[in-house]
Structure 1
């Protein structure tokens, strides 16, 4: 029986040729399907290839009787229900590298167009005018560019900015000083980058941490006459706040390729701003990029269907049955500990030591380290990091990773411990799996503690003296933040103690800042898992 590969969005012929080259494959191209037509077409498909148009919902996935893999010819998988695919054991792969250069070049095209008023001058000329004085622009040379997010695309933008004679500020929680120096970039925090920049370009994924990262408050911190560029994801910049700042003249201009709602609504206020450059999500729209992502995802699908090694899995590690059985209880623990450690440590990480004990010290535990790194880097690069490319993210960040294996743990027989060194110090978290109670934290920065590793948490390190816990509880209560649980760890009375509070909703940064001001508080973190 033929292997059916269903393609429901337009992809390059080069990718189709690779799929057709799979022995016994039948490549069926059907675009612009309705949801019902898609459910019918996918019923007997072994593989599905999409770009961004096709919505692969739970209903669609549940209609697939033999689907093994979904391939996204691009980076983002927002149009695919990952949870439903994972539940059904369907592999989801993407093509994370194919459009890097296209996105970086489009960013620069937008920046130059913005600086020199090219679209507006073009329209004006077509209308019969010759207004040379009206369209006087600014040079990029000598200006300061803030690159917010120094991943693959941000790095390529920084390289091009240096060639234009710009001073480049790089903000990224995982950017080390060594890496910044090698790129000729000045590493700085977000607020500094925003205050000092003449141009700002964003290259972060869209997560709950980066949603409206550039809001009215941050815009107010910027230089008057700043210019903003977003070719990353809609929602990183608060579009309403940006439109107001453009109309008021505080922001000299903006070049936007991605929007919170696409297509951009006809009545959107950005359409009424004369000092903007708008494009309809063209960052990856080059002949070369479309061919690259099509080839990359087609090759991956062929590997999966042949049971060969694949690289760009978004939702599942490639494990043997024996590995799955032995390591399954620890995969969730490893990923949650990694995500916890990223929020606990804060700052540019230089080294990580992962200690495995008991059953978690299996020689195949390299998969667990990939899972730890996936959780760790997902905090900043949500949606981009998978089980296979996690080590590459560590390498790009200059993070040295070491594994230590022991036959027995220090607290429980089976343990995973993560120690992360950053420019802000070293932090350590230890966890285990306790039968029906699931993954738990059992030690934190050397203090014994016992709590589920889930939900929204507040971590403090403080002086162990009467009234400390009460003052924090009162402050949270005043802000209508309910405490669901509390664990305190200490070594001696009157010394230092740690506390983990489980709360019912996200904690605003100003609340964390207020807690940090209390006498005796030495460290406070908000952590969401």
Structure 2
């Protein structure tokens, strides 16, 4: 008999399949104090949570029988993934369960924004009968710009086209072929800003997407554009949005999320051109049931040794396979994360090459970590180790894997090459005895870098004074340099410099570095 503990409020209708299983005992005990939960967890084979329960390393230390943790939802910030992985505990989530609810909420906000519905309702509640103040616009014939065409963005696009809207879309992994299949036009963020009547964002919140809609983007927009954010607070710069509302650039904004939640004294909420909801995107009866059903089915599959699809950490592997590839897993994911941050443009192809000792191993798990590292940088929690190959295929990205003989320098090595519509970038790594994973090549230039923390990577002309100027700018910004590597192929040609720094570099300093004579490109990479 398997024992499953449900420690947060989760739809019992969604848990019905679990509770009806003849070999499963489900205990529903939401709101347990951490000490009591820790005392009980050793009895259970699986734990189901939402966002309230904190699944810490300390809690997992006492979970001697635990095989799986299920998150009824998408985000897993409340679960110590690394600690679970070390103990062989599979963590699964339910990334698809709230897709329709969030897309429908976005479209409800879009329609309310177009027709001033909340403002008109407030007016009539106050006893007025004012029809002139709330004249709206039709959606038919308007242009909707969607920033982020993942699951939710795609569903929003379908609904917009049903209303007769033209859809522009930006996604770093959106190929022309995929755009044609969906009936949308693939464009840049700046093109969306220039052309769209309505703009909605559907990306995860990352270093790259934080404030991706800010002052420069608002400056490009049509007068009276309407803005929506039902994704993550922080994608739209709230201060810049307020300024754009006040100067008339933005005719209205619909917000379901905020940079600070709940918002405190947020001036946006005082504007009569802003409509808002308290992060309700996934708050439907159906979504709560769906995420419970999805995660419950995954838990049953894991307990019964059947295939499962939404593992957040690596799926279980035979012990001998795991022992052989374990050292390469971290290297693979770090290579993916690195290359995704230095490559620009829409991604079309990924080529992974294994050489030397690693080429003699079962490398499929390593390839999954590489794909997850690449795709999750832009698609966040949508991507896991199990679905990464499927997502790459869905996006029309060609993935190839080759094996070669021993490298002339390294006993084993892994190379990852990305091809985008703006060019090709590559990175290679190996394992050094006693040092662990190392990045040994970036775009063909030899380096020796530990793949961790914040790295500043420049491509520049190999000439005197550049390194000193970059160091001075970083020093003036209070950024300490912990390590430095420079790779070049010839005297006076192009070179690559990698600086390990103690904290992220702010946008102004990055821009100043980019203006140094001889600097061709600069990227701030977080690993």
**TM-score, structure 2 length as denominator?**
0.93
Of 51-60 and 321-330, deviating more is: 51-60
User: Using the alignment, how far apart are the partners of 1:228 and 1:43 within structure 2?
Assistant: 49
**Equivalent position of 1:102 in the other structure:** 101
**Equivalent position of 1:66 in the other structure:** 65
Identify the match of residue 328 of structure 2 among 320, 327, 330: 330
Residue aligned with 1:66, SS: coil
Alpha-carbon contact 2:14-2:288 (below 8 Å) kept: no
Task: Extract unaligned runs of 5+ from structure 2.
Answer: none
**Equivalent position of 1:8 in the other structure:** 7
Relative to structure 1, the CA distance from residue 36 to residue 123 in structure 2 (aligned partners, 3 Å threshold; closer, same or farther) is farther
Residue aligned with 2:521, SS: strand
User: Using the alignment, how far apart are the partners of 2:492 and 2:237 within structure 1?
Assistant: 46
Residue aligned with 2:15, SS: helix
How far the C-alpha of 1:71 sits from its partner, in A, is: 0.7
User: Using the alignment, how far apart are the partners of 1:114 and 1:218 within structure 2?
Assistant: 20
**Equivalent position of 2:126 in the other structure:** 127
Relative to structure 1, the CA distance from residue 491 to residue 259 in structure 2 (aligned partners, 3 Å threshold; closer, same or farther) is closer
Alpha-carbon contact 2:214-2:237 (below 8 Å) kept: yes
**Equivalent position of 1:489 in the other structure:** 487
**Equivalent position of 2:394 in the other structure:** 396
**Equivalent position of 2:251 in the other structure:** 252
User: Using the alignment, how far apart are the partners of 2:125 and 2:453 within structure 1?
Assistant: 57
How far the C-alpha of 1:393 sits from its partner, in A, is: 2.1
**Equivalent position of 2:454 in the other structure:** 456
Residue pairs, 1:376-525, within 5 angstroms: 376-525=374-523
**Equivalent position of 2:312 in the other structure:** 314
Of 13-22 and 481-490, deviating more is: 13-22
Of 455-464 and 55-64, deviating more is: 55-64
User: Using the alignment, how far apart are the partners of 2:120 and 2:432 within structure 1?
Assistant: 67
User: Using the alignment, how far apart are the partners of 2:80 and 2:237 within structure 1?
Assistant: 26
Of 314-323 and 245-254, deviating more is: 245-254
Offset from partner CA, 1:317-352 (integer Å, 9 cap, x none): 322111111101100100000111111222111111
Offset from partner CA, 1:348-404 (integer Å, 9 cap, x none): 111111001122214520111111001111211223321101112211322100000
How far the C-alpha of 1:411 sits from its partner, in A, is: 3.0
**Equivalent position of 2:195 in the other structure:** 196
**Equivalent position of 1:225 in the other structure:** 224
Of 404-413 and 431-440, deviating more is: 404-413
Offset from partner CA, 1:269-326 (integer Å, 9 cap, x none): 3443322222232212233322222211111001111222221111223221111111
Residue aligned with 2:414, SS: strand
Of 315-324 and 490-499, deviating more is: 490-499
Offset from partner CA, 1:64-117 (integer Å, 9 cap, x none): 343221111121223323334334432210011122122111110110011101
Relative to structure 1, the CA distance from residue 215 to residue 43 in structure 2 (aligned partners, 3 Å threshold; closer, same or farther) is farther
Of 409-418 and 42-51, deviating more is: 42-51
User: Using the alignment, how far apart are the partners of 2:56 and 2:493 within structure 1?
Assistant: 53
**Equivalent position of 1:296 in the other structure:** 294
Residue aligned with 1:527, SS: strand
How far the C-alpha of 1:249 sits from its partner, in A, is: 4.6
User: Using the alignment, how far apart are the partners of 1:262 and 1:471 within structure 2?
Assistant: 41
Of 473-482 and 484-493, deviating more is: 473-482
Of 392-401 and 33-42, deviating more is: 33-42
Alpha-carbon contact 1:433-1:439 (below 8 Å) kept: yes
User: Using the alignment, how far apart are the partners of 1:110 and 1:197 within structure 2?
Assistant: 17
How far the C-alpha of 1:39 sits from its partner, in A, is: 3.5
**Equivalent position of 1:141 in the other structure:** 140
User: Using the alignment, how far apart are the partners of 1:501 and 1:264 within structure 2?
Assistant: 37
Residue aligned with 2:43, SS: coil
Q: How many residues align?
A: 527
Offset from partner CA, 1:481-528 (integer Å, 9 cap, x none): 332222122222233322222222212334333333344333332222
Q: CA RMSD in A?
A: 2.3
Relative to structure 1, the CA distance from residue 185 to residue 208 in structure 2 (aligned partners, 3 Å threshold; closer, same or farther) is same
Alpha-carbon contact 1:326-1:359 (below 8 Å) kept: no
User: Using the alignment, how far apart are the partners of 2:255 and 2:26 within structure 1?
Assistant: 37
User: Using the alignment, how far apart are the partners of 2:426 and 2:442 within structure 1?
Assistant: 6
Alpha-carbon contact 1:487-1:500 (below 8 Å) kept: yes
**Equivalent position of 2:168 in the other structure:** 169
Alpha-carbon contact 1:481-1:505 (below 8 Å) kept: yes
User: Using the alignment, how far apart are the partners of 1:338 and 1:8 within structure 2?
Assistant: 35
Alpha-carbon contact 1:417-1:431 (below 8 Å) kept: yes
Alpha-carbon contact 1:460-1:525 (below 8 Å) kept: yes
Task: Extract unaligned runs of 5+ from structure 1.
Answer: none
User: Using the alignment, how far apart are the partners of 1:136 and 1:54 within structure 2?
Assistant: 46
Relative to structure 1, the CA distance from residue 64 to residue 363 in structure 2 (aligned partners, 3 Å threshold; closer, same or farther) is closer
**TM-score, structure 1 length as denominator?**
0.92
Relative to structure 1, the CA distance from residue 519 to residue 215 in structure 2 (aligned partners, 3 Å threshold; closer, same or farther) is closer
User: Using the alignment, how far apart are the partners of 1:38 and 1:195 within structure 2?
Assistant: 53
How far the C-alpha of 1:250 sits from its partner, in A, is: 4.1
Residue pairs, 1:271-286, within 5 angstroms: 271-286=269-284
Residue aligned with 1:112, SS: helix
Alpha-carbon contact 1:213-1:237 (below 8 Å) kept: yes
User: Using the alignment, how far apart are the partners of 1:295 and 1:304 within structure 2?
Assistant: 14
Of 71-80 and 122-131, deviating more is: 122-131
User: Using the alignment, how far apart are the partners of 1:15 and 1:223 within structure 2?
Assistant: 45
